[in-house]
């Protein structure tokens, strides 16, 4: 897989202008959702307004899709393909995906499959999208309730990351993205993790967040470069997600959905508990992070009566093999233990300890 160009900038219109020249194309498609067309299109208005003058031989068209995960499906994908086809897209067209993870996943898959693949650029508009979904080449849509069941590894030609896109994000969405930054902190070193635990993300500013984001995204890029198709090392990026996905699905089934990053934050605590027990991860740090997650994200409330339902959801995790639940653990910050199989007993004990640490 070709390494993606990832640009960190607080002048997104200028960066788009440069890439529109660098990647020759006949038609330019800008894919927005119903929210990003309102809140993020103005941030790139300079690029859009100047486009026709700079590209007299090309046209710029806009496609708008729904903005919820419910729209991340084959019907929306077909709409995008159909619009591309009806409006004269060719193999030399270029697509720019302006949105969160749902949009960059779907737009990337639409581009990767239209006429066997056209080039695309991701412009993530959420912190979660910037730090995770937009980078690394995973694209796809859901099939019914199965998340990302259909997809392809297809890297964007470029990912343009700007914190100016986050100015309209609410606190919950900022915290949701920050959980993935914390995950990358655990995969790097103590200094980076400490910086993250001490940073006040709810009062972020572009001069401090942008370099932290760059460091964080580069953790993912290093991993993806070594293992683009998730045969081994890339599984480290699932840290927090084995328990986290179960919390996410469980809360959804209870009619109390949570943002992905909240579930990942709770999942991280659970996986640090297991890491401590199985791999000797330092207990003091595990407790410090549990207190951080409790105070920042709040606890997830569940009782022993919910253990079976949560465990059952963990048995459906995509990473499981031959009926075994697998998890990425840590010996210490930056030292990953891949492919640990977890017994039911270990998982239930972890729920007990987690509830103690969260004070529930």
136 binds ligand GLY (CB under 6 A): yes
- Closest-approach residue to ligand GLY (CB): 237
184 binds ligand GLY (CB under 6 A): no
Q: Which is nearer to ligand GLY, 66 or 101 (CB)?
A: 101
Q: Which is nearer to ligand GLY, 232 or 280 (CB)?
A: 232
CA distance 358 to 102: 30
- Among positions 68-97, residues that touch ligand GLY (CB under 6 A) are none
What one-character DSSP code corresponds to residue 129?
I
The Cβ of residue 333 has, within 10 Å, a number of other Cβ atoms equal to 19
Virtual CA dihedral for 279, 281, 286, 288, nearest 10 degrees? 180
CA distance 237 to 224: 9
Q: Which is nearer to ligand GLY, 78 or 339 (CB)?
A: 339
Letter string b/e over residues 220-241, b meaning 16 or more CB atoms within 10 A of that residue's CB? bbebbeeebebeebbbbbbbbb
Give the interface segment with ligand GLY, choosing from 132-140, 146-154, 270-278, 303-311 (CB under 6 A): 132-140
- The site for ligand GLY, by CB under 6 A, has a size of 5
Question: Please, are residues 126 and 81 in contact by the beta-carbon 8 Å criterion?
Answer: no
> In whole angstroms, how close is the CB of 281 to ligand GLY at the nearest point?
21
Virtual CA dihedral for 218, 219, 223, 228, nearest 10 degrees? -50
- Contact pattern from residue 218 through residue 247 relative to ligand GLY, giving x for each residue in contact according to CB under 6 A and a dash for the rest: ----------------x--x----------
Q: How many residues does the chain have?
A: 360
Q: Which is nearer to ligand GLY, 17 or 124 (CB)?
A: 124
Q: Which is nearer to ligand GLY, 92 or 319 (CB)?
A: 319
Give the interface segment with ligand GLY, choosing from 68-76, 131-139, 269-277, 331-339 (CB under 6 A): 131-139
What one-character DSSP code corresponds to residue 333?
T
> In whole angstroms, how close is the CB of 57 to ligand GLY at the nearest point?
37
Name the helix (H) or strand (E) containing 248.
helix 241-253
> In whole angstroms, how close is the CB of 318 to ligand GLY at the nearest point?
11
CA distance 149 to 117: 19
Closest CA to 97 of 210, 175, 19: 19
Q: What three-state secondary structure class fits 204?
A: coil
- Among positions 250-269, residues that touch ligand GLY (CB under 6 A) are none
Q: Which is nearer to ligand GLY, 104 or 113 (CB)?
A: 104
Q: Which is nearer to ligand GLY, 17 or 101 (CB)?
A: 101
> In whole angstroms, how close is the CB of 132 to ligand GLY at the nearest point?
5
Exactly one of 33, 132, 248, 271 binds ligand GLY (CB under 6 A); that residue is 132
Strands (E), 154-245: 158-161
> In whole angstroms, how close is the CB of 138 to ligand GLY at the nearest point?
5
CA distance 57 to 146: 42
CA distance 150 to 133: 15
Structure tokens at 162: 């700007």
> In whole angstroms, how close is the CB of 155 to ligand GLY at the nearest point?
11
Q: Which is nearer to ligand GLY, 314 or 357 (CB)?
A: 314
138 binds ligand GLY (CB under 6 A): yes
Binding site for ligand GLY (CB under 6 A): 132, 136, 138, 234, 237
């Amino acid at each position: 897989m070709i390494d993606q160009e990832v640009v960190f900038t607080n002048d997104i219109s200028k960066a788009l202008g440069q890439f529109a020249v660098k990647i020759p194309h006949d038609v330019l498609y800008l894919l927005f959702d119903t929210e990003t067309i309102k809140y993020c299109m103005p941030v790139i208005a300079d690029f859009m307004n100047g486009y026709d003058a700079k590209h007299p031989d090309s046209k710029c068209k806009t496609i708008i899709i729904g903005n919820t995960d419910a729209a991340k499906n084959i019907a929306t994908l077909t709409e995008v393909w159909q619009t591309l086809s009806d409006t004269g897209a060719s193999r030399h067209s270029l697509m720019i995906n302006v949105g969160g993870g749902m949009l960059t996943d779907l737009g990337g898959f639409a581009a990767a499959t239209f006429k066997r693949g056209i080039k695309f650029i991701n412009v993530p508009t959420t912190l979660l999208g910037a730090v995770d979904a937009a980078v690394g080449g995973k694209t796809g849509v859901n099939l019914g309730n199965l998340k990302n069941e259909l997809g392809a590894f297809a890297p964007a030609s470029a990912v343009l990351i700007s914190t100016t896109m986050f100015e309209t994000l609410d606190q919950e969405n900022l915290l949701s993205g920050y959980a993935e930054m914390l995950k990358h902190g655990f995969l790097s070193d103590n200094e980076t993790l400490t910086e993250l635990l001490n940073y006040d993300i709810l009062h972020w500013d572009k001069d401090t967040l942008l370099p932290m984001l760059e460091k964080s995204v580069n953790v993912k890029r290093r991993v993806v470069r070594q293992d683009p198709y998730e045969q081994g090392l890339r599984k480290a990026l699932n840290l927090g997600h084995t328990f986290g996905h179960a919390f996410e699905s469980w809360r959804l089934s209870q009619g109390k959905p949570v943002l992905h990053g909240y579930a990942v934050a709770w999942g991280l605590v659970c996986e640090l508990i297991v890491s401590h027990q199985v791999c000797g991860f330092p207990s003091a740090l595990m407790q410090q992070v549990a207190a951080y997650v409790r105070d920042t994200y709040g606890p997830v409330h569940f009782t022993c009566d919910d253990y079976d339902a949560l465990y059952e959801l963990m048995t459906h995790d995509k990473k499981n093999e031959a009926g075994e639940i697998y998890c990425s653990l840590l010996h210490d910050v930056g030292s990953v233990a891949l492919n640990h199989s977890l017994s039911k007993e270990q998982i239930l004990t972890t729920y007990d300890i987690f509830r103690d640490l969260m004070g529930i």
